[in-house]
């Protein structure tokens, strides 16, 4: 059976994870026709995703977007393109051209979670 301390630590970790997300808007790269985009934008509250679009004519877009609108039909109509490649994601700065960005907070939260799980079972 788990100790009371393990439950407290697990609750504390959950609380910290929630606090890390509160009060911070999503950040996305925001550029038009730049392959190596470095300009960062703070998204508005209704924009909950980052979008990367590359058209057949080699136009490239990085911007904040609504995850609800992440579908080929809507994006193609918005950009006036019939053929394109797109990617929508919901983590900070995840709309890089190569798609390899990771949130800075993820490794810390995973470490804390592993510590809590270890203490829970020990």
Of the ranges 2-11, 93-102, 110-119, the best mean pLDDT one: 110-119
Looking at residue 65, its pLDDT comes to: 98
Burial environment of residue 121 by CB neighbours within 10 A (0 to 12, 13 to 18, 19 or more): exposed
pLDDT at position 64 is 98
Report whether pLDDT(55) > 70.
Answer: yes
Neighbouring C-beta atoms of residue 94, cutoff 10 Å: 22
Q: How many CB atoms lie within 10 A of CB 106?
A: 12
Other C-beta atoms lying within 10 Å of the C-beta of residue 97: 16
Nearest to 27 by CA among 48, 37, 47, 41: 41
What's the confidence (pLDDT) of residue 89?
98
**pLDDT tens track for 40-51:** 999 999 999 999
Mean pLDDT of the chain: 81
Q: What is the pLDDT of residue 45?
A: 95
Instruction: Tell me the angle at which helices 4-21 and 106-121 cross, rounded to the nearest 10 degrees.
Output: 170
Give the pLDDT score at 117: 76
Angstrom distance (rounded) from CA 89 to CA 101: 11
Enumerate domains of the chain plus CATH numbers. Answer: 4-121 (2.10.60.10)
DSSP 24: -
Instruction: Name the band, by pLDDT with cuts 50, 70 and 90, for residue 7.
Output: low
pTM of structure = 0.62
**Mean pLDDT in residue range 67-86:** 95
Cα–Cα distance for residue pair 48/26, rounded to 1 Å? 7
């Amino acid at each position: 059976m788990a100790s009371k301390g393990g439950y407290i630590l697990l609750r504390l970790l959950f609380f910290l994870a929630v606090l890390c997300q509160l009060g911070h808007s999503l950040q996305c790269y925001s550029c038009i026709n730049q392959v190596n985009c470095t300009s960062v934008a703070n998204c508005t509250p209704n924009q909950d995703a980052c979008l990367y679009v590359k058209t057949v004519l080699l136009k490239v877009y990085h911007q904040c977007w609504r995850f609800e609108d992440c579908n080929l039909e809507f994006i193609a109509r918005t950009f006036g393109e019939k053929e394109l490649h797109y990617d929508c994601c919901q983590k900070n700065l995840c709309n890089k051209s190569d798609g390899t960005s990771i949130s800075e907070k993820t490794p810390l939260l995973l470490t804390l979670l592993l510590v809590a799980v270890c203490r829970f079972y020990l």
